[in-house]
Amino acid sequence: MGTRGGALAVAILLSVLLHQSILLASADGLVRIGLKKRPIDENNRIAARLVEKEEGPLLAARRYGLRGAPLKEGEETDIIALKNYMNAQYFGEIGIGTPPQKFTVIFDTGSSNLWVPSSKCYFSIACLFHTKYKSGRSSSYHKNGKSASIHYGTGAISGFFSTDHVKVGDLVVKTQDFIEATKEPSVTFVVAKFDGILGLGFQEISVGNAVPVWYNMVDQGLIKEPVFSFWFNRNANDGEGGEIVFGGADPNHYKGNHTYVPVTQKGYWQFEMGDVLVGGQSTGFCNGGCAAIADSGTSLLAGPTTIIAEINQKIGASGVVSQECKAVVAEYGQQILQMLLAEVQPGKICSSIGLCTFDGKQGVSAGIESVVNKDTRRSAAGLSDAMCNVCEMAVVWMQNQISQNQTQELIFNYLNQLCEKLPSPMGESSVDCSSVASMPDISFTIGGKKFSLKPEQYILQVGEGYAAQCISGFTALDVPPPRGPLWILGDVFMGAYHTVFDYGNMRVGFADAA
């Protein structure tokens, strides 16, 4: 991306980490946190250029594989209003200490710790631009001192644990363990609109095994039901950005009934998802089921490169041309096609032609030299990994076209188009803003029901008129088996569908947002 879209890229990078919420008490006993948007400024543009130089993907896989424990019923409901930055960051205020010191945080279902910058953060530029916790000013502070560090998709923090009261809306969570961050080395945190993060995942992924704020809310009897819910306002012109409700759901922000699916693996809010459709037509990729998580801390919708490339091709998104992809199609395409027509087991094709080895479950790099740039000194292992991955993608793409009875010529034209639409290294793909209205709906099957996203819901636009730039809401993230393939349904999805996280019944629910 160029500098025109740099600010949006930064906002997306930041939100891949988490979301934020600001606390406002209401007359009905609920605490709401509203979301607002802020104009793009030159500081964001400068930071964007810095972020674009950093290595690493836009989204990185978090740690999966967790367990959980049932929560007790409380007494009240807490509603917190959220603020919205460019449909990419949702944030709000909490208070820590006595009297409360205010911090802007993201409420993140993809992590489980609470952290804010520490007054002892001396050498990180990010700390200079954000509010810092001062333990000496709190009468309820208790020293802990155990060291801690957290690595997110686009940054990392480190520091030490402390214990203090945490005010969330009208609720005061007592003796909460949290992290005072003394190092925030990533540029991501320099330009963040939030000070810290409040994790809403399960304790099994909590660094230091710290009890999450959400658990303590329930255990201390502060909320009515072991449930919380999100509503994200995707209207860029509204001052209200959304809300998170602790203890229930606000009926004013959803239509009809929620479709619930059980949590299949605790840690993140993970569940089983079915087929993905483009313009009502099956991609076939998740016919046998795919794992997915609902993640309020990720701004985009992430999925396996194979399908993301296909989706981006269908909506006309432009990514980076992959030489390895086109090389595999040119060199091995006919062989792959003939094997599929001969009904060879698809999972064994790439190992059969020597691009991958087969371990019975997944393709693994076999160390094959690239057919492109043979004279270069690029890493053979890295190239072979790419060749193996591209081969496996080509098999899926061809299967899809064969099922539609396409001719050989159309199949290979289609594959080369997909190669050209592979996402860029930073994960973003741009589209022509004038073509948004003609793009297809993208649907996800959850609990036997199709949840569709319209183009205006999955395209992020920044700027107006000639200066407008549009970004695809779909980005690639490959999580290998047995945890993957994995889909991360971030704000792009949760903005369209009100989401309930029901800890009492270990399930996640979706309904049309209102």
Is residue 427 within 8 Å of residue 308, measured between CB atoms?
A: no
Is residue 500 within 8 Å of residue 256, measured between CB atoms?
A: no
Please name the residues in contact with 17: beta carbons below 8 A apart, sequence gap of 6 or more: 106, 108, 152, 153, 154, 155, 188, 197, 297
Helices (H), 365-454: 380-403, 408-420
User: Can you name the residues that pair with 368 across neighbouring β-strands?
Assistant: none
Is residue 171 within 8 Å of residue 67, measured between CB atoms?
A: no
Beta strands 196-199 and 114-117 are antiparallel
Is residue 65 within 8 Å of residue 265, measured between CB atoms?
A: yes
- Catalytic, 295? Answer yes
Cα 189 to chain centroid, rounded:
17
DSSP string computed for 213-250: HHHHHHHTT-SSSSEEEEEE---TT-S--EEEEESS--
Active-site hit among 177, 295, 385, 491: 295
Q: Please report where in the chains the tokens 């963040």 appear, as a residue.
A: 192
Is residue 136 within 8 Å of residue 116, measured between CB atoms?
A: no
Residue 447 DSSP one-character state: T
User: Can you name the residues that pair with 243 across neighbouring β-strands?
Assistant: 81, 231
Asked, as a colleague might, if the bond just before 99 is cis with ω within 30 of 0, I would say yes
Is residue 494 within 8 Å of residue 339, measured between CB atoms?
A: no
Closest CA to 299 of 20, 80, 31: 20
Active-site hit among 108, 177, 195, 250: 108
- Catalytic, 375? Answer no
Please name the residues in contact with 235: beta carbons below 8 A apart, sequence gap of 6 or more: none
Q: Active-site positions? A: 108, 295
